Amino acid sequence: MGIFGWSYPPGAANDPSAPYNQETPPCEVCGHNEFDCICPECPVCETSGDPHCYETGGHGLQRTQAQIDGRAALDELIRKQAEADRAEGEYWSHPDRQREAAEMEQYWRDLAKHERGES
Ligand SMILES: [Zn+2]
Ligand SMILES: [Zn+2]
């Protein structure tokens, strides 16, 4: 075994089951990812996790409490994420941050000039 074989366990950022590493969006009905989806297969269209199958005039499927809870948990997660994004957006759009960013950019520009031997 190479010396690095065991010393670099995969970090959380590489965790394939982490919600932010999913290529496919979570199930619309139960809020779980595609591997953990708890929805039964619809007898009509033979797919699972389609909200239309649960609607009035749909395919007669009824949401279980687990599906409702799962979806609610996902909504809560999305709401929190949106809130965090908004807070971050507000933070960076604050005039002080904009000024700091501009100053930082100017600083790097001056530094680059300096390194090229200009002044
Ligand atoms: Zn599902
Ligand atoms: Zn269906």
Q: How far apart are CA 3 and CA 87, in angstroms?
A: 43
pLDDT per position as a tens digit, 60-113: 999 999 999 999 999 999 999 999 999 999 999 999 999 999 999 999 999 999
Stronger pLDDT, 4 or 80, i.e. the higher one: 80
> Which listed ligand is nearest to 50 at the C-alpha?
2
Q: What is the pLDDT of residue 117?
A: 87
Q: How does residue 12 score in pLDDT terms, banded at 50, 70 and 90?
A: very low
C-alpha 45 to ligand 1 mean position (Å)? 15
HEC readout, 2-57:
CCCCCCCCCCHHHCCCCHHHCCCCCCCCCCCCCCCCCCCECCCCCCECCHHHHCCC
> Which listed ligand is nearest to 52 at the C-alpha?
2
Q: What is the DSSP letter of 94?
A: S
Q: Which amino acid is at 38?
A: I
Confirm if 71 and 112 have CB atoms less than 8 A apart.
no
Question: Tokens 């010396």 label which residue?
Answer: 3
> Which listed ligand is nearest to 47 at the C-alpha?
2
